[in-house]
Structure 1
């Protein structure tokens, strides 16, 4: 529930299914055609172009059902296929078993093809480098000439050509084994908090203090950008002083949408004479992991053609290798135990009428954001019911001028609705874990119950959305058959947040009973579940490769609230039942 955001507009639901008539027709036609088309999908490979992918392990972001697994695209059978869920993005990858130099990828698309996609390679299955990118694919059979090295090869679809998912009859990878092994022994991050320099830097209301240092601070929510007055020109550059001569073997760039189409990675011993060690004229933007080889004290990104009308901007510019004068970076947070252990909970087992535990919760009074209509009172609208539940109550006040609390912003009692919001800020935070609550939500136009998390640095002055927001449960009282889970970050927030909607089996009503919402969160992403069933998955690598930096690897605190009105749910009306009650059986955190 965005505290300072425009209304959420989550993407399409993940529970739709392709009509069976279309499925059967497409399957019959596809099987008949694919035997013919398989002959022309890829030309006969020469001695140096060996088919590497057939029969190798394959995985995917999703499968439409068990009949269409990822392995069906690499089994050599042109009559079987992989088919994904019906959302963007989606991916399929194959593990070649060893490092290979990849020079050709052949794709045979079913009718559900990708209009925009990338072919990527990786040494470890986590850090990906794009070797082919298009936004104008027409599907069918494609033979792509590429150049890259890695053990893993992935097709990452970012825009579907149809309302369905992505589907491949064949995914063939050709090349030779024994490619570049990647970073050598002893390679480490050399650029952390090293001095940075740039052609220009932005400092205004749109990008505050976007200095070169921001690209080297390991803070994915801060960035460098070229200045608006003179920096939206070519060329544009940024470089880092590693403090001493270093052998460079890897560079990671996390671009803002203002990225470089054509650029070089260059090294220098004097910051004047530069030697290119990587050149591209088709930079895809977002996250690029580059295997390079060069020696120098200074490393520069030198952009010569922009991908947008704007300038150049990097959230992260990381340089790896040996030598230099590196500073020790912070230790990444540890993933939860396996299995996770309960570390914090509130079972709300107090006596009837008792208030939330002040040792665990901070009451958050005041006027709600998002053009909401309620005033959150100082603990007047929440208490235990004596049956093991917290009751958060939204009320329509009969005489707003006298019975409502004083609004500290206006100095008068003018609120029409009151409700409750509380959080664990300053009392409990967690980085990673399984965060869950069992909740019964209210029904009624204008009601907006939520269970969510905010980055703890919000409490020490970092503004939203740079602190990060993880929404676990949001339901609109006007549509209690649909729930939403969403994340917000600088590169994707408000209406552009990354999220999913989902329903109960048989389109049941969420307000009829208690349900358990949970987010299982670790260094690889977040898996959202409802009553133990996975409803939405966020993969960190996918987000970085398609939307922008992942900013959720730091402490967050928990929030519960029941809003009334606002941009997204709209206002209550005569049919809205007041008082409206949100019941919480428990909140638990496992780590």
Structure 2
């Protein structure tokens, strides 16, 4: 599988995020009600993640021609139980500080590519994030690449949740596409202010239709992106293909910087469930 997406090219370090409390009054707030459950993983069977739903990206990106996953990341992704396991009724993705295959850290990245892909719907996960300088947890989606014939960003990317581990109250929601990728992604952040993302579970989700993507944390609509959104200076590529989901914890990278002496390892992202509705 050719990985010409997300961490490989987006250069997300230069994104300028705006902290907000909700959608602005001048934004079109199209709230939908999607309640037909079409996929649910409650991670209630101990062991490896369900192989019928989840695959893995393995390595440091070098095999794909993008060492450091194209973003100066420091981890080597594995499918070892030390890095990814289902237990206690949840999926646990753990970043470890260790020398492994030439890298100084290990972690895991899971994806539903070729196993579950869908166009439109509500995609949500209940997650408790890791914490610390240099940690980069994410829950996101990529458009199907049609067997490698459509490259990133033409096939689109929807970042449901991204977090800088050193900012434990802030989540980010973004899209990337042709003309608005990398440093020019369309994005917004949300600051819980009085609550943290690493000490409590929160539900991160999107509701996605042909001409809108709504971003939620818990019951708060904090962002809506449409073909008319400011900064979307290119083709809207979110109405013509199925997308698949990804979960990962990166270590280092241009978006978060390297861990420092105060970053405690191991660090784990706990995923209570993933659900998809239409």
TM-score band w.r.t. shorter chain: 0.7 to 0.9
Q: What is residue 444 of structure 1 aligned with on the other side?
A: 132
- Deviation string 1:237-292 (CA, Å, 9 cap, x unpaired) is xxxxxxxxxxxxxxxxxxxxxxxxxxxxxxxxxxxxxxxxxxxxxxxxxxxxxxxx
Q: What is residue 189 of structure 1 aligned with on the other side?
A: none
Q: Distance in 2 between matches of 1:546 and 1:497?
A: 8
Q: Is it true that 1:469 corresponds to 2:164 in the alignment?
A: no
Q: Is it true that 1:358 corresponds to 2:44 in the alignment?
A: no
Distance 1:15 1:474, change over 3 A: same
> What's the offset of the Cα at 1:6?
0.7
Q: What is residue 86 of structure 2 aligned with on the other side?
A: 384
Q: Work out which of the residue numbers 550, 562, 565 in structure 1 matches 2:252.
A: 565
> What's the offset of the Cα at 1:543?
3.4
Distance 1:454 1:545, change over 3 A: closer
Q: Work out which of the residue numbers 92, 97, 104 in structure 2 matches 1:416.
A: 104
Q: Distance in 2 between matches of 1:586 and 1:372?
A: 27
Contact residue 10 and residue 497 of structure 1 kept, 8 A: no
Q: Work out which of the residue numbers 43, 49, 59 in structure 2 matches 1:348.
A: 43
> What's the offset of the Cα at 1:458?
6.3
Q: How many pairs align?
A: 259
**1:3 match: secondary structure:** helix
Q: Would you identify which runs of 4 or more consecutive aligned residues in structure 1 move more than 3 Å?
A: 543-546
**Following superposition of structure 1 onto structure 2, how do residues 216-255 of structure 1 map, counting pairs within 5 Å?**
none
Q: What is residue 12 of structure 2 aligned with on the other side?
A: 7
Query: What is the TM-score when the length of structure 2 is the normalising length?
Result: 0.87
Q: Distance in 2 between matches of 1:452 and 1:566?
A: 17
- Deviation string 1:19-53 (CA, Å, 9 cap, x unpaired) is xxxxxxxxxxxxxxxxxxxxxxxxxxxxxxxxxxx
Distance 1:546 1:378, change over 3 A: closer
Q: What is residue 177 of structure 2 aligned with on the other side?
A: 489
Contact residue 543 and residue 549 of structure 1 kept, 8 A: no
Instruction: Give the structure with the higher percent strand.
Output: 1
> What's the offset of the Cα at 1:524?
2.2
Contact residue 165 and residue 256 of structure 2 kept, 8 A: yes
Q: Distance in 2 between matches of 1:475 and 1:444?
A: 11
Q: Distance in 1 between matches of 2:232 and 2:218?
A: 30
Query: What is the TM-score when the length of structure 1 is the normalising length?
Result: 0.42
Q: Distance in 1 between matches of 2:231 and 2:129?
A: 36
Can you give the 5+ residue segments of structure 2 that lack an aligned partner in the other structure? 61-67
Q: Distance in 1 between matches of 2:190 and 2:142?
A: 22
> What's the offset of the Cα at 1:547?
2.1
> What's the offset of the Cα at 1:11?
3.1
Contact residue 10 and residue 498 of structure 1 kept, 8 A: no
Q: Work out which of the residue numbers 222, 230, 237 in structure 2 matches 1:535.
A: 222
> What's the offset of the Cα at 1:459?
4.8
- Deviation string 1:220-248 (CA, Å, 9 cap, x unpaired) is xxxxxxxxxxxxxxxxxxxxxxxxxxxxx
Q: Is it true that 1:519 corresponds to 2:211 in the alignment?
A: no
Q: Is it true that 1:584 corresponds to 2:271 in the alignment?
A: yes
Distance 1:459 1:487, change over 3 A: farther
Q: What is residue 236 of structure 2 aligned with on the other side?
A: 550
**1:510 match: secondary structure:** coil
Q: Distance in 1 between matches of 2:76 and 2:137?
A: 14
- Deviation string 1:491-544 (CA, Å, 9 cap, x unpaired) is 10111100100011x43221110000000000120110110110111123x139
Q: What is residue 219 of structure 1 aligned with on the other side?
A: none
Distance 1:462 1:546, change over 3 A: closer
- Deviation string 1:74-114 (CA, Å, 9 cap, x unpaired) is xxxxxxxxxx4xxxxx58xxxxxxxxxxxxxxxxxxxxxxx
